Structure 1
Amino acid sequence: MPLVVPGIQSEGGKGIDEWTTKLMGKKLGDSHDEVTFAKKDLPSEHRVLKPDSMSTMDHKPDRLNVHVGEDGTVQKVRYG
């Protein structure tokens, strides 16, 4: 049986469901409305990843990774 370390080899992390609910399908901007989430309200440890953007492979369990599509809409949210 393989060893699974939560947050390293598995998706999610504590609070990921809350962030997924808040962000999925929205765009990031300066203020909140029906289709936008304010960047200032993201955790201090976060990064926004666009398609084909380069990123480091270091693992930070408390860093929120927000993956956006070409149009800037949030498509995936995870910690790491």
Structure 2
Amino acid sequence: MINRDNQVCAEAAAFFKNLQAADREEATLRPYAMDLLRWLRCLWVLGIRWDQATSVEARDFMRWMLLADKPVRLHWRRQRQQLAS
């Protein structure tokens, strides 16, 4: 993961190395990376460094995730059916 200064984020790199060492599949790593990116962007908007975030910011982030509108996506089978017709 690259930070705003275009440098590798050592903490994120260590986290993902641990996941790989625990034999997590690539399909698991990507969602983890996207969630981490979402969290870091939230902190960036709030003007809070990741190492200064508290449980209050984590709580508010989780509340936002629960309350935010989710895009409606068609199931892959329905997408194929629509493409075929």
The bucket for the TM-score relative to the shorter chain is under 0.3
Greater Rg by CA? 2
Question: Which structure shows the higher strand fraction?
Answer: 1
Question: Which structure shows the higher helix fraction?
Answer: 2
Q: TM-score, normalised by structure 2?
A: 0.21
